[in-house]
Amino acid sequence: MSHMAANWAFAEGFIEEPDAIVAARERAHQLGCSTIGPSTGSALRLLAAAAQARTVVEVGSGAGVASLWLLEGMPRDGVLTTIDPDPAHQRAVKQAFSDAGVTTHRTRAITGDPDAVLPRLADGGYDLFVVTSGALQAELLCDEAYRLLRPGGVAVITHAFASGRLSDPANRDEAVVGLRQWYRSLGDSTLWAPSILPMGDGLLCLMKQDV
């Protein structure tokens, strides 16, 4: 095993997941929806806590795994809005909340297409915007994320390495090439301060700059 692979394995095993998150992950596998590992989840918890995020939007529920990690980091008066077009996924999210003892006033689960739901949310009303449906869809949501976040708010995209396809130079798939180009453009952006954290399948973090 290489040093990098050993480091990755250590990071994934470093945090022991609560029972409710383990159960949510099992439901995610049964539903066939992508989810995140413990290292990425604990990073989401850290980001939510560091930002004292009282208002969070999550696009793509992942059956509640990321949702529960976010709620662990958010203040007790914080509200998580999770958006997913699949009713089965949202039912799994509500089950995850119930298992974890999350009170109903802390969450808002909306079943619907993000393109239809996000425009109804308030400008500058959110501290954290999280995309768990994958980086290949994230660029299309970036304008909405910028509108919804307060100055200094953070957009977070899981699966930033697109299941390892991003770092494979032989992969010339149109979507992957487009993702590489978008990442390069973020380095020159005056709107965002970007960073990619190399954990799990990658975590892209974008802080909204006050321009």
The number of folded domains in the chain is: 1
Strands 203-208 and 149-158, by their bridges, are antiparallel
Q: What is the pLDDT of residues 84-96, one digit of tens each?
A: 999 999 999 999 9
pLDDT digits (tens, 9 = 90+) for 95-144: 999 999 999 999 999 999 999 999 999 999 999 999 997 777 788 899 99
What is the structure's pLDDT at 1?
57
User: Residue 97, Cβ neighbours under 10 Å: how many?
Assistant: 23
* Distance of alpha carbon 153 from alpha carbon 156, whole angstroms: 10
Task: Look up the domain containing 168 and give its range.
Answer: 3-208
Per the prediction, the chain carries an average pLDDT of 91
Q: What are the distances in angstroms from CA 57 to CA 33, 67, 75, 84, 156?
A: 19, 10, 15, 11, 10
User: What CATH number did the domain enclosing 122 receive?
Assistant: 3.40.50.150
**pLDDT tens across 24-39, in order?**
999 999 999 888 999 9
